[in-house]
Structure 1
Amino acid sequence: MTPLAKRLPRELRRNIGKYLGIFLLMCGSIALTSGFLLAAHSIGCLIDDMRDAYTIEDGRVTTSFEVTDDQLKAAEDAAGDVGGVTLYKNFSIDAIIKKTAGDDGTKRTLRTYAHRAKVDIASYCEGKEPKADDEVAIDRVFATNNNLSVGDKVELEGRTYIICGIMTQPDSQALFLNNSDFTVNTITYGVAEVADGGFAALEDAGGAPAYTYTYSFTFTDRNLPTADRIDAEQDMVEALTDADARVDDLIDSDSNQGIGYARDDVDGDSMMWMTLLDIIIVIMAFVFVVLTDATIEEESAIIGTLLASGYRRREIVLHYLALPAIVGVVAALLGTALGVAFFTEPMRSLYYGSYSLPPFQVYWSWEIFVKCAVVPAAALILITLVGLLRKMGKTPLQFLRHEASGKSGTKRGLQLPERMGFVSRFRLRIFLRNLGNFATLFVGIAFASLLLLFGLAILPTMTHYADNLETSLVAEHQYTLKAPVELEGTAEEREQWSAIERLQSVDGALLSAAQDADDELDDAADAAQTAADAATTSPSAESLAAAQDALAKVQDKKDALYARLDDLADALGCNRDEAIDLIDKASKIDADNDDIHPVNTTDNDAGAIAQAEKYAVYQLQYDRGDGNGQETISVYGISSDSRYWKGLDVGGGCVVFGGGLLDKFGWSEGQKVTLDDKYEGEHYSLECAGKDCAWGSKSDMNIYMSIDDFNELFDNDAAYFNGYVSDEKLDLDARYFAGDTTPDDMRAVGDQFIGMMSKMIGMMVGLAVFIFLLFMYLLTKAVIDHSARSISYMKVFGYRDSEISHLYIRSITLCVAASLVLSLPVIIGSLTAIFRSMLLAYNGNIEIYAPAWSMVACVGIGFATYLVVALLHMRSIKRVGLAEALKVQE
């Protein structure tokens, strides 16, 4: 062993606190990151495999009413240019679920499907698929959050079901009640599947909502380029529209948050963790540089002697690089091993608590090993080496004269004002001599404060966002409709529209057959009348026979009509006369006339009708740019003198933008914005031209105009609308009812977001305090070590340990306190920028909200952490001996 190598164990023991702190921080950071990245990589591989393993749809189209076979064929034919497409019925019912025992009254919704065996096939992690009519399988995350398990009994729309299985659905990996929602809702919303008989029974349950008519589709070529797939989907929608189907929504799999959100979230978080690790490693490397610089300055005479004795500069550089390199490599390897062994499962649980995914399995990745073990160690060694080379570029004489810090010649201190007292000048000298250490300390404190404030402010931010969501609703109920339906109407009109609804609830082929039979009877009656007239005018055996044959055909057609009417009556659950009565009532309304709106068959209270207000809404898309996808923006058409949207001036062609749009995208008054209609391929240019350019909170992502301007913009009928706002509950026909959004629903979304983020708060705060502790200890220890000789001199002159601590510790304390306070503006600006960049690719706008108490807490926690460090440094000062002052120094 060379003489220099023999110094390494002594150096390690002498600075065990320094190297142990660096080791723990680096090892802990890499362990957390490697564990997360391996879990994220495994989840990503799992999600990628699901597309083929569970036949995930390529997209879905939702219609207001069930489409006919001819309409489905028109859609399939429209996709012939890309090799064909297969559409599957994927109907669902949003059923209210209640526990049969211990229900707390919270409204919970299960989007229930009939068991699917061809597309979007469920993955069961417990139990079995439903076979009996009273069995139901529910989503794993929803079951966990609501303490449900196999064998429990629940009520769906008042009908009792037994939970037979716990599963995940591949098209609902993230539980979004609406695809435009900002975040998942795993507490009050879930998905389920039942047997075909149970699905039919659920539809027949009293008060149950009607089907949502969704048709999932898969292309024959599953590897179609995205552009070709989107073109084919638009052709399908156009074909359905041309075939008189009412299309409500088209969602490609890439824009379906239930399918893609989990993967996007995992990828985004992976980038965030890698960035966090890179920052920690870079800061750690500079800490090594600072500490190594201090060591070189302290051992300057030894280095000069070694150089003068014939040691090469390379040997000395390698000597001082050895310990940082060993510590860095061991920390990187051990941290990666610990992360893989112990932190993969906790990181996995963070995602499996929020997303519905199949059973987890680990997929190893050498890329993660390189990122977490090789790159950090290499970066640490490289940066430390550069710092050493910069520091070692001096002559042996300069090292012997202790001029390794930079300038040659006799060092002269900065002239300080004579008026300053001794204590003030002494502290200022300490600051100036350790300026590099304190600059690095400021960066470390700012970074740790950023993590800490993020952890402290995330709950207030989410609470603030939830409050904005709740207050963004202008009424207790905001109803959306599949098609316009009038609340006001006479009893006779309600009966007529009820007859139409009832007739349209059966297979259209039965109605068509009855209509055809009626037409054939009319034709036969006309032919019989003609034959009878001919027999009367020119009586003959032939004319009489023809008349008799015609009358026989009339009877046959009449029998055929009665048979068709009997089939229709059976489907309606009534007798023939009642079916004829329904047809007679329905025939009095021209249902094909777009100027005539259906009348709600349920009569609401006159007061409720009077206070309800019509509105129209349509969703457009805005390209965020830079590959960040498209923002879904709701365009509202409201009454110019609305009683609900108070203070919103939309008269005279004014267009008002929600405050969130202006805040997120930086739009301003007079700016024209181009929005796209992904269904029709149209483009709309809107200008914020109201008296008040923005309305609502910074969470409001809507655009408002008068309902007349709305209908003119979208080429609707003048009387078109598709929603009601009301402070009172309305009874709307399930056939036209699309949804009811209440403040409680918005609060539930906000609470869900809070629940998701709260899992990370402890980790963020703990990591920040740990970084605080180590950075402050390492960098302030360098100040104490650098001043060891001066401290020894002061002891020789009779200064007590408490007085010395008063001078040195107080100087460090002032710098730490100043760093904590001065870094706050930088931190808040950085948090705002980070939030904007992180959330730009997601719908909605969340503004960072850091209340005063969180900033005070950030400074307080940082300073309290420093006090622990200060106590350790007081012990270090006591350990400085008088012999230090007696060492020879040229």
Structure 2
Amino acid sequence: MTPLARRLPRELRHNIGKYLGIFLLMCGSIALTSGFLLAAHSIGCIIDGMRDEYTIEDGRVATSFEATDEQLKAAEDAAKDAGGVTFYKNFSIDAIIKKSASDDGTKRTLRTYTHRTKVDIASYCEGTEPHANNEVAIDRVFATNNNLAIGDTVELEGRTYTICGIMTQPDSQALFLNNSDFTINTITYGVAEVTDEGFAALENAGGAPVYTYSFTFDNRGLSVADRTDAEKDMVEALENADARVDDLIDADSNQGIGYARDDVDGDSMMWTTLLDIIIVIMAFVFVVLTDATIEEESAIIGTLLASGYRRREIVLHYLALPAIVGVLAALLGCALGVTFFTEPMRNLYYGSYSLPPFQVYWSWEIFVKCAVVPAAALILITLVGLLRKIGKTPLQFLRHEASGKSGTKRGLRLPERMGFVSRFRLRVFLRNLGNFATLFVGIAFASLLLLFGLAILPTMTHYADNLETSLVAEHQYTLKAPLELEGSDQEREQWTALERLQSVDGALLSAAQESQDELDDDADAAQEAAAAATASPSAANLTAAQDALAKVQNKKDALYASLDDLADALGCSRDEAIDLIDKASEIDTDTDDIHPVNTVDNGASKIAQAEKYAVYQLQYDRGEGNGTETIAIWGVSTDSRYWKDLGVGDGRVVFGRGLVDKFGWDEDQQVKLYDKYEDKDYSLKYVGNGSEWGSKSDMNIYLSINDFNKLFGNDTSYFNGYVSDEALNLDSRYFAGDTTPDDMRAVGDQFIGMMSNLIGMMVGLAVFIFLLFMYLLTKAVIDRSARSISYMKVFGYRDNEISHLYIRSITLCVAASLVLSLPVIIGSLTAIFRSMLLSYNGNIEIYVPWWSMAACLGIGFMTYLAVALLHTRSIKHVSLAEALKVQE
């Protein structure tokens, strides 16, 4: 062992606090990051394998009414150029679920499907799929958040079901009630599976089915562009076949399928960046501490150089301990992360996303990122700092001139009018300016983490509050097609009859109609034959008349058989079926803009306060590869009682403040929007101030309903929704959804549930970084001033007086750093939020309440007080003998 190597254990013991702090910070950061990245990598592998293992759809199309076989055949034919496509019925009912035993009255929705075996196949983690018509299997995350387990009984649309299984659905990995929603909702929304009979029972209980058709391309390797082109052709074919298409969602734009993967990838980048920042800051801390060590041992280095030691040997000596500490911290941190932190990090995602059972997939890339790169970066930056510092002559080292330029270093002359204490503290600050600059960066970084943790929940709650207030009424009903609330009793009977007829297999009604048409044709022919036989009673004419009458009788028998089949399906008699047909035929279908009439009379007062609106979704290109924003275009009444002071009409366009805040449009800018269903572009003009409405969470564009219908080429009387402060009873066939303030409040509750664990972790990490940065960098100030402290003790200063001079100087710098860094970190938080959330629908306004800023300052300063107590002890331990050491 060389003489220099013998110094390493002694140096380690002498500076155990410094190296232990660095070791703990680096080890802890790498442990958290490696645990997270391994969990994220494993989840990514699981999600990537789900497409083939569970046959995830390539897309889905929703229609207002059930599509016929001919319409689906037309869509399949349109996709032949893409290699072929297969459609699957994927109908669902948004059933209101109540926990039978202890329901708290909160509205919870369970999107219920029949058990699927060909596409979007569920993964069961407990129990089995439903076999009886009163059994239901529910989503794992929803069940966990609502304390539901196998064997519990629940009510769906008032009908009792027993939970038989806990599962996850591959097309609902992230639980989005609507694909355009900003966040998942795992508290009041979930998915479920029942048997075919159980689904029919839900429909009979009043559940409104959504007619969704999932599809998979025969060539599953199609590019997104080719797939999108084929999907547009399919939609066009459906519309040409008279199907009303409500929605088309490609798998890549389906948040239920892709959101979890995107979130994991985004968080992985964030954690990797966080680790890189910590390592770089730690490396500079090493440089600062090593500089202090070199200055402290300047005479020793000068003697070694004069004695024949090479600079390379001295550099390696001072690099040894940082390298050893860094490598050990990296290896141990990576091992701890894999062993102990993968499971907690996995729980962060499995508590929010519905994924199959977890298993670990090892990745050497993570080992390189979390162990090799940090250790190499730490060693490299420390080496650069050493090479910069060690390039002095032996004489300069012996004269303690290693920290400055050649020649005598003179201090800055301070004003004589300043008192001794003030000048002394200022001198301490100036001598350690580099240390304090690094301390400011460390405090700013730790404050950023801390304030992010403290402000994320208020920000999300503020966003949820804005969403809640953006609802202009207690109920916002959306319809599949226009449905009039007003109507006479006779009209309600007619539409009731039609709705009842349309509730059965259309083939039965078509068969009855064809039999009636054929009977009419044969009856006409029989009349002509009878007239001919009467005019000329020949044998041939009589035979022809008899044959014609026989045909009429056969057609009557066929008609009666068809009517009997129809009556059986309707659950009524033949006469009642005929009565239904007669009533339905009285509806005037010659008028183009005729709308169905709601079969239930909601009462004059409720109808009077309800207000029609129209809404349609377009896409806006965010630019720079950040995807498209889904923007709702609203058509509302010019004298609306709900959208107060909106001021639409005469072609005026009003933009939600959230859109303007997020995209920063210029005055008189043309905003280009795209209709992905019609493959059509629209351009609306943002005129500037005065054309904005709502909160900074409002992402809508408003027109008068007349301008809306002109823009989209609709009938003048078209609408597809009602806003109402009173609950309305709407026909399930036309009812699409009901959004209430409770739904918006659930968003805030969801964020609290998602973020609580992560917030505690971030606050703990920030406090840990605060503690270590402050300790290491302020310790360097005390160590560098050891000789001066010793001199003061020789001159009779007490320990508390010395602490008053040194600790107070450090305290003022720490307090100033905490306060001055606040504007910087608030601006950084705003930029980070905008960058993180640009590629997501919606606009979140950063909201930092005063108490979170006060808490950030308070936690930072209280952490420093703990460090200051340690430094007070360090000052007491400075020996009087330090003053007797020879300087040169």
TM-score exceeds 0.5: yes
Pick from 750, 753, 763 the counterpart of residue 752 of structure 1.
750
Residue 149 of structure 1 is matched in structure 2 by 149
Residue 403 of structure 1 is matched in structure 2 by 401
Residue 231 of structure 1 is matched in structure 2 by 229
Task: Give 1:690 shift.
Answer: 7.4
Counterpart residue type for residue 281 of structure 2: I
Residue 53 of structure 1 is matched in structure 2 by 53
Task: Give 1:693 shift.
Answer: 2.2
Equivalents in 1 of 2:477, 2:200: separation in Å?
26
Residue 517 of structure 1 is matched in structure 2 by 515
Deviations 1:100-142 (A, max 9, x none): 2122221111111110000000000011111111111110001
Pick from 398, 404, 410 the counterpart of residue 412 of structure 1.
410
Confirm or deny: 8 A CA contact 2:618 2:632 kept in the other structure: yes
Pick from 211, 214, 223 the counterpart of residue 213 of structure 1.
211
Over the matched positions of the two proteins, sequence identity in percent amounts to 86
SS in 1 for 2:690: coil
Task: Give 1:406 shift.
Answer: 2.3
SS in 2 for 1:571: helix
Counterpart residue type for residue 152 of structure 1: D
Counterpart residue type for residue 523 of structure 1: D
SS in 1 for 2:846: coil
Task: Give 1:700 shift.
Answer: 0.5
Equivalents in 1 of 2:539, 2:51: separation in Å?
76
Judging changes above 3 Å, is the alpha-carbon distance between structure 1 residues 174 and 592 closer, same or farther for their aligned structure 2 residues?
farther
Equivalents in 1 of 2:464, 2:83: separation in Å?
46
- Using the size of structure 1 for normalisation, the TM-score is 0.99
Counterpart residue type for residue 472 of structure 2: V
After the TM superposition, which of the residue ranges 102-111 and 329-338 deviates more from structure 2? 102-111
Matched, 1:111 2:86: no
Task: Give 1:592 shift.
Answer: 6.7
SS in 2 for 1:212: strand
Residue 728 of structure 1 is matched in structure 2 by 726
Task: Give 1:209 shift.
Answer: 2.0
Deviations 1:710-768 (A, max 9, x none): 10111111111001111111111111111110111111122212221122111111100
Matched, 1:764 2:762: yes
Counterpart residue type for residue 4 of structure 1: L
Query: After the TM superposition, which residues 166-315 of structure 1 pair with which residues of structure 2 at under 5 Å, given as runs?
Result: 166-205=166-205, 208-315=206-313
Pick from 494, 506, 521 the counterpart of residue 504 of structure 2.
506
Matched, 1:332 2:330: yes
Deviations 1:219-271 (A, max 9, x none): 00011011000000111110000000010000000000000000000000000
Residue 568 of structure 1 is matched in structure 2 by 566
Deviations 1:552-598 (A, max 9, x none): 11111111111111111111111111111111111111347431011
Residue 600 of structure 1 is matched in structure 2 by 598
SS in 2 for 1:559: helix
Residue 623 of structure 1 is matched in structure 2 by 621
Equivalents in 1 of 2:477, 2:158: separation in Å?
23
Task: Give 1:544 shift.
Answer: 1.0
Pick from 543, 546, 556 the counterpart of residue 544 of structure 2.
546
Task: Give 1:668 shift.
Answer: 3.5
Matched, 1:787 2:785: yes
Residue 138 of structure 1 is matched in structure 2 by 138
Query: After the TM superposition, which residues 708-857 of structure 1 pair with which residues of structure 2 at under 5 Å, given as runs?
Result: 708-857=706-855
Equivalents in 2 of 1:225, 1:132: separation in Å?
41
- Using the size of structure 2 for normalisation, the TM-score is 0.99
Residue 41 of structure 1 is matched in structure 2 by 41
* Count of aligned pairs: 888
Query: After the TM superposition, which residues 90-105 of structure 1 pair with which residues of structure 2 at under 5 Å, given as runs?
Result: 90-105=90-105
Task: Give 1:11 shift.
Answer: 0.4
Equivalents in 2 of 1:368, 1:375: separation in Å?
10
Counterpart residue type for residue 505 of structure 2: D
Query: After the TM superposition, which residues 331-480 of structure 1 pair with which residues of structure 2 at under 5 Å, given as runs?
Result: 331-480=329-478
Counterpart residue type for residue 192 of structure 1: A
Equivalents in 2 of 1:782, 1:689: separation in Å?
58
Equivalents in 2 of 1:888, 1:627: separation in Å?
65
Q: CA RMSD in A?
A: 0.9
Q: Which sections of structure 2, spanning at least 5 residues, go unmatched?
A: none
SS in 2 for 1:622: strand
Task: Give 1:79 shift.
Answer: 0.4
Equivalents in 1 of 2:216, 2:196: separation in Å?
22
Confirm or deny: 8 A CA contact 1:528 1:551 kept in the other structure: yes
Confirm or deny: 8 A CA contact 2:484 2:595 kept in the other structure: yes
Confirm or deny: 8 A CA contact 2:170 2:257 kept in the other structure: yes
Residue 653 of structure 1 is matched in structure 2 by 651
Matched, 1:2 2:14: no
Confirm or deny: 8 A CA contact 1:136 1:165 kept in the other structure: yes
Task: Give 1:429 shift.
Answer: 0.5
Equivalents in 1 of 2:292, 2:795: separation in Å?
25
Deviations 1:578-630 (A, max 9, x none): 11111111111134743101111110110111111111000001111121111
Counterpart residue type for residue 184 of structure 1: I
Deviations 1:486-517 (A, max 9, x none): 11000001111111111111111111111111
Deviations 1:34-90 (A, max 9, x none): 000000000000000000000000000000100000001001101000110000000
Equivalents in 2 of 1:204, 1:252: separation in Å?
31
Task: Give 1:635 shift.
Answer: 0.6
Counterpart residue type for residue 23 of structure 1: F
Equivalents in 1 of 2:689, 2:578: separation in Å?
58
Matched, 1:580 2:575: no
Confirm or deny: 8 A CA contact 2:208 2:736 kept in the other structure: no
Confirm or deny: 8 A CA contact 1:284 1:380 kept in the other structure: yes
Q: Which sections of structure 1, spanning at least 5 residues, go unmatched?
A: none
User: Which runs of at least 4 in structure 1 moved beyond 4 Å after TM superposition?
Assistant: none
Residue 22 of structure 1 is matched in structure 2 by 22
Judging changes above 3 Å, is the alpha-carbon distance between structure 1 residues 579 and 842 closer, same or farther for their aligned structure 2 residues?
same
Equivalents in 1 of 2:699, 2:755: separation in Å?
22
SS in 1 for 2:509: helix
SS in 1 for 2:486: coil
Confirm or deny: 8 A CA contact 1:479 1:723 kept in the other structure: yes
Counterpart residue type for residue 874 of structure 2: S
Counterpart residue type for residue 10 of structure 1: R
Confirm or deny: 8 A CA contact 2:666 2:688 kept in the other structure: no
Equivalents in 2 of 1:670, 1:724: separation in Å?
32
After the TM superposition, which of the residue ranges 681-690 and 460-469 deviates more from structure 2? 681-690
Confirm or deny: 8 A CA contact 2:107 2:742 kept in the other structure: no
Counterpart residue type for residue 846 of structure 1: I
Residue 529 of structure 1 is matched in structure 2 by 527
SS in 1 for 2:209: coil
Pick from 681, 704, 707 the counterpart of residue 683 of structure 1.
681
SS in 2 for 1:10: helix
Counterpart residue type for residue 832 of structure 2: I
SS in 2 for 1:716: coil
